[in-house]
Amino acid sequence: MPRTILRIDSSARRDGSVSRDLTDRITARLAGDDTRILTRDLAEGLPLLTEAWIGANFTPEADRTEAQRAELALSDSLIAELKAADTIVIGLPVYNFGLPAALKAWIDLVARAGVTFRYTEAGPEGLLGAKRVIVAAASGGTAFGSDFDFATRYLTHVLGFLGLTDITVLGADRLALDAEAALAAAHAAVDQLPRAA
């Protein structure tokens, strides 16, 4: 049965981007002859949430106007891509200790109560189901897993909140200190990824 990989890039850079190079390598490593690859380049721009969007989101689906449905159309498309994917590959460059604004905008558009998560008496429950997620991270000075690593910790937390808990984080950190060693370690980690979840 054909499998689908959703590749999400968020680096503002296209030339010389380490996270984009890693998503290239990961996608090539995981894809088979019958793999369908969906690509979402967040650097092309995403809108920020507005009062109109929030109003549409909290209006019951059956009661939404055409204008409200239009407000949610992009969000619906992004969520459909997530639901269609068996594996999700996310490029995460660390900007100022955090996520690129475009990646945060994507999170805001896909984290929707009653659609990708819900609240229950036992606590919140993610609704995106069992999918494999690989985060390809890159940082100039932040060591992944350190107290200053807000980016990968936040991203894995919010993905888990949506039900995506099978997450592998790999990448090249502290590139400003020893780029050659960081890239070699990241490439080796990609080469060791199991092809099937």
- Residue 11 in marked binding region: yes
The CA distance from 74 to 41, in Å, is 14
Look at residue 69 in the predicted model and tell me its pLDDT: 98
- Residue 19 in marked binding region: yes
- The answer to whether residues 115 and 56 touch, using CB atoms and an 8 Å cutoff, is no
Each domain of the chain, given as residue ranges in start order, spans 4-191
- Overall pTM > 0.75: yes
Residues 70-74: what's their mean pLDDT?
98
Is 24's pLDDT higher than 80? yes
- Residue 18 in marked binding region: yes
Question: Quick one: DSSP state of residue 58?
Answer: T
Structure token digits, residue 102: 């475009």
Superfamily of domain 4-191: Flavodoxin domain (3.40.50.360)
